[in-house]
Structures are given as C-alpha cells and as structure tokens.
Amino acid sequence: MYNANDTIFAVSSPTSDKRVIIRITGPGTIETCRKLFDNQFALGAKRSISEHKIKIDSSLELTALLYFFTSPNSYTGDDVAEIHIYTNPSVTEAILDKLLCLGLRTAEPGEFTSRAYLNGRMDLAQAEAVNEIIVSSNQFQLSAAENLLSGKLSQTTEEIRSSIMDCMSRIEAGLDFSGEDIEFISRNEAAEKLTEIKTQLEELLAGSIRYESVVHLPSAGIAGAPNAGKSTLTNKLLGTERSIVSHERKTTRDVLTSMLNLEHYNCVLFDCAGLIAKPENILDELAQQSAIEALRNSMVVVFCIDISKEDWTEDYEIRKLINTKNVIPAAAKCDLAGEKNLPALLDKLHNIFGADFLPVSAKTGQGMKELLEKIDSFLCIKNSYSETPLALVSRHKKAAADAVSNINDAIEELNSGNDEVSAMSLRAAYKEISQIEQHNLDDQILNNIFSRFCIGK
C-alpha cells in the first residue's frame, strides 16, 4: 500500500490548449511550494489562487498559477497544491525533475483518490465513482457515475443494512425469549420484510450499468441484402472506415463489431454479411448463420434496403429472416433515387413492407442524425429506468448478489421454522452489504481498486 507520509506529485491530465496541471499533496506540500517559488509563496486562506514565478534554470523563468487547498479542506484531506502553467513537454519534465530533487515521489495510479478515501473525505463507493467518471464515454454513463459519487449508493445500502439489522434483531430477540410468550416479529411478517429488502437489492442490480466489458453493452445490428449499402452506412455511423466497401456483392463475410458512441449509451454495432433468401454454397450458409446469430443477440436491428433498386422481392424475403422485434427500416442510397422520386418510392416501400422507411444517405449525410437518434431511443426503451441508474462496479454487484442469495436462504429457513439458521443467513447478508462501504479492507484489495485509476487522480 502507498506510504501516506510521502509528499507526492503527478501531472494531472494536460489539456489540449497546452496548459499543464501538476498536482502535489502530502505533509511537505507547503515547504515544497516555498522552495519551488523561491519563498514567494505565503500561506493564506483555506483556498487560494496566486501567481508566481518558477525558475526552471539560470536562463528560463515562467509564470504559473498556484491553486492551494489547505488540510482538511482539500480533495485528499492533506494540503494540496495545483500548479497551472502554459508550457511544453520539455519544460514540464524539467519541473518534475525539480520536484524529485526536492524529495517528492511520483504518485502511483489512484493515489490521490486513495488518500481522499483513507482520510475520510469520501467513502469507498464514491472513490470508485471517480474512476467511473473518468472512463465515462457518454452523458448517460457520466450521470450514472455522478450518482455514485454523490453518495447515492451509500445512502441506498445504508437503508438496506438498517432494514436487515432491524429484521435480524427481532428474530434474534425472539430466540432469546423463546421460553416466554413474547413475539417480536412473526415468521410471515419477517419473510415479507425480507422479500421487500431482496426486491430493493434486485432493483439496484437491474438498474445499474457497468463498464468492464463489451459483453455488457447494448448492441445494434445492420442487416439487409448483399450490396444494400450496409458497410457504407456502418462507416458513416462510426465516422471511420471500419468495413470494406465494394460494388461487388458479398464483400462482407464475417460479423464485424465496432463501438458506436450514442448520446445515452456506448453500443456494440454489428455489420453483418448480406442475407440471402437461398444460400448458394457452404460459405454463404456459414456467413448467413453468423449474421442471423448476431442479429438475434442485437437489441435493435437497422434493416437496410437499396431504395434505388427496381425490385425489392429479395429484400421482402430477407426481412422475414429478421426475428428481432425492434427494427428500424432504413432506405439507403436515397441520394441515387432523386429528390423528386423519393416520396413516391418511400410510399411504395411502405405498401410492400408495411413500415415507414427512414431515407438515409451515407454520401450526403441525409437521415444519419435521425438514424442515430432512433437507435439511441430504442436502446433507451429497452433499458428503460425510472431514473438515472448507478454505475456499479463488479465489487458492488458481487456484494449485492451475494446478499440476495443469503436473504433467499433466510426466507427459506424462516418458512421451515429454522429461525436460528435464518438469523445466521441475515448476518451473512448484512456483512456482504457492509463490504460496499467498509473502511477496513486489506491493503491488497485497496491496491486492486485504485490501480485501475489514471496517474494524477
């Protein structure tokens, strides 16, 4: 584990406008500032901003802004100094070397947030939320992480712990007075209360999002006949040349996966091989099987047709192969149809397929914004929550899931008349929930948690 008596420093996320932020914290922060700024530094209020000169060498002196936060009114709970300076990497390196010469140590990943946790500035769930905010890639994930940072998980788990403790105490009190005609809580009443607690935990798990793996992200598929414009559409949605585009049919054989960034979600986008009503050979069959499997696992499918074609019989047969309920019909290559002909062609498609097609063009960009919004909207409905969820990490999920399992055991034992065993299961559930916020985790667990952070955070 980190040595909390060290004074540490790190570059904290340089910005694109060449402004570098160097963060310092620890017991030697004040003395370091005095040496670094040639005794210009004077300790003022608990939060202060001042301008100083840093002498890089005999021929170079630069102006820097110093943001100073005194203990305990800082992010880490120790004195914190942030040096904001407009400079280049070489000068930044020279300042860092100077800090090393002054006896400071380079911070390890997550060490600043680790100190905030150890100094009681935030609980463990809030500390973990800092990392989730850093890795958030859209507004929905960011809001979920902010909910975690605000202490919502701590508040929820405290309420659940309190309910478990209340129920467990009544059951155990009944055991203590089992020889007397006193009932603190009936078995039916206890089972009902525990079922409510279990439901709370299950809702917490169901209404959470996680970042650890692409497997847990929502997915969308692009489907249609060969040469319907799927790969071109995929590239336009992604803003990069991910799929091979060719006028030749059956260019795409495998299912290509990419990350599509939407307003509320990150989404796995599948670009599938063109579907064929009657596969001609084994390669067509294998490609078709892979495509159908990917589409079956997709939460929403964009059914793509070439609106410039004269005959959509093949497309009509292919549409039957897509069993997913959430389908967005897209009329691709609408730029080739001509502006005057487009309304009539869209009416014709509606009559054939019984659905309204969104006209899109990867060439002109027509309809692309609307298509992204439709995909996002479908995913929001599929993953609808009454409010922004929490960004639970795997440690939280495991503790909640184990607690649900223990509460299930407790209910079963109550129904069997085994009050003492039920109380033991409730103690185990209480312990699992307590692990989310407890402050006595061993060093190895804390190291594992904070090692995922960026240096400087």
Integer Cα distance of 320 and 223 in angstroms = 12
Q: Is the dihedral of CA 415, 421, 425, 426 positive or negative?
A: positive
**Taking the chain, what is the end-to-end CA distance rounded to the nearest angstrom?**
16
Q: What is the pTM of this model?
A: 0.43
What is the pLDDT, as a whole number, of residue 51? 84
pLDDT per residue over 343-402, tens digit each? 999 999 999 989 999 998 888 888 889 988 888 888 776 554 444 455 566 667 778 888
Q: Which residues of 413-446 are buried (b: 16+ CB within 10 A; e: fewer)?
A: bbeeeebeebbbbbbebbbbbbbbbeeeeeeeeb
> Which residue intervals of 104-150 are DSSP H helices?
111-118, 124-135, 139-149
DSSP assignment of 264-282, as one string?
S-EEEEEEPPPP-SS--SH
pLDDT per residue over 83-117, tens digit each? 888 888 888 888 888 888 888 888 877 777 777 77
Integer Cα distance of 344 and 346 in angstroms = 5
| Long-range pairs, 404-413, Cβ under 8 A, ≥24 | 404/198, 404/201, 404/202, 404/205, 406/432, 407/164, 407/194, 407/197, 407/198, 407/201, 408/198, 410/194, 411/191, 411/194, 411/195, 411/198
In this structure, are residues 260 and 237 in contact, taking their beta carbons and an 8 Å threshold? yes
Q: Topology of 219-382 in CATH?
A: Rossmann fold (3.40.50)
- In the predicted structure, residue 77 carries a pLDDT above the cut 80: yes
Q: Domain spanning 134-210+391-438 has what CATH number?
A: 1.20.120.430
Integer Cα distance of 137 and 124 in angstroms = 22
At residue 208, the 3 state secondary structure works out as: strand
In which residue are the tokens 């960026």 written?
Answer: 454
Q: Which residues of 336-366 are buried (b: 16+ CB within 10 A; e: fewer)?
A: ebeeeebeebbeebeeebeeebbbbbbeeeb
In this structure, are residues 354 and 330 in contact, taking their beta carbons and an 8 Å threshold? no
pLDDT per residue over 13-49, tens digit each? 655 557 888 888 888 888 888 888 866 666 666 778 8
Q: Topology of 8-122 in CATH?
A: Gyrase A; domain 2 (3.30.1360)
What ranges do the domains of the chain cover? 8-122, 134-210+391-438, 219-382
